[in-house]
Amino acid sequence: MKVVAFNGSNRKDSNTAILVRHVFAELEKEGIETQLTQLAGKEIRGCLACYKCYVNADKRCVQEKDPLNEYVRDMAGADGMILASPVYVASISPVLKALIDRATMVGKANGGLFRHKVGAAVVAVRRGGQVNALDTINHFFLLSEMIVPGSSYWNFAFGLEKGDVDRDAEGVQTMKVLGQNMAWLLKKLNS
Ligand SMILES: Cc1cc2nc3c(=O)[nH]c(=O)nc-3n(C[C@H](O)[C@H](O)[C@H](O)COP(=O)(O)O)c2cc1C
């Protein structure tokens, strides 16, 4: 089994990536393969609303100049996915939103590419707006007919500078429990 994660932070290996790695550690203990893609420095364009993905129905977006189609392929080929973001002005980062918008359309245009996969949101936040960011990611999972495991608290941790989230003990614990619950669910679904 495999879980792919996308880190929407513009800072590579910073708080959001640290949180994803806490979830990954629990998945890996259960023998689940993991893959992290960091979107820092990547340009992912927004959806053009051209609906050509419905006309072509080839599991691709017509915009070929950025890595979106590669990411959709990774998401469709995995058993589970983590979409992770820092809070930017009470929401998710623009690059992750662009990924979500286009992946939603390509997934729907092709009969539900992500149906019954396991999805988990992860958010790093300094102080406020985290629930809105989590909701935005969870809306994608639920609209895509995916299955969302819970944790001991909502899936965020507090931090401003790189590494701060590791001082939020409850936030780290939430990521660990999330990883354990994600592994449990993946095993049930694949048994
Ligand atoms: C453009 C921008 C907007 C931000 N907006 C918020 C916000 O609305 N609420 C908040 O608590 N933190 C906000 N932050 C702080 C980040 O969410 C926080 O530093 C987070 O830990 C960054 O994760 P990273 O280290 O993975 O980049 C913002 C940071 C940036 C760069």
CATH code of 106's domain: 3.40.50.360
* Residue 127: predicted pLDDT: 98
Nearest-angstrom CA–CA distance, 83 and 133: 11
| Alpha helices, H only, the chain | 15-29, 52-56, 68-77, 94-109, 130-143, 169-189
CA of 134 to the centre of ligand 1 (A): 14
Ligand 1, atom 24: closest residue by C-alpha? 15
Record the tokens describing residue 180, joined without a space. 């354990």
- Number of domains present in the structure of the chain: 1
Q: Which atom number of ligand 1 is nearest to the Cα of residue 162?
A: 25
Local confidence band at 99 (pLDDT 50, 70, 90 cut-offs): very high
**pLDDT tens, residue by residue, 2-47:** 999 999 999 999 999 999 999 999 999 999 999 999 999 999 999 9
What's the order of all strands across the beta sheet hosting 156-158?
33-38, 2-7, 80-86, 118-125, 156-158
Distance 155 CA to ligand 1 centre (A): 15
In angstroms, the CA 89 to CA 138 distance is 18
User: Where residue 170 falls among pLDDT bands split at 50, 70, 90?
Assistant: very high
Stated pTM of the model: 0.98
The predicted structure's pLDDT at residue 189? 97
pLDDT digits (tens, 9 = 90+) for 135-166: 999 999 999 999 999 999 999 999 999 999 99
> Which residue segment(s) compose the domain that 138 sits in?
2-189
d(CA 114, CA 122): 18
The atom number, within ligand 1, closest to the CA of 126 reads 11
**In sequence order, which ranges of 30-164 are alpha helices (DSSP H)?**
52-56, 68-77, 94-109, 130-143
Give the per-residue pLDDT at 38.
98
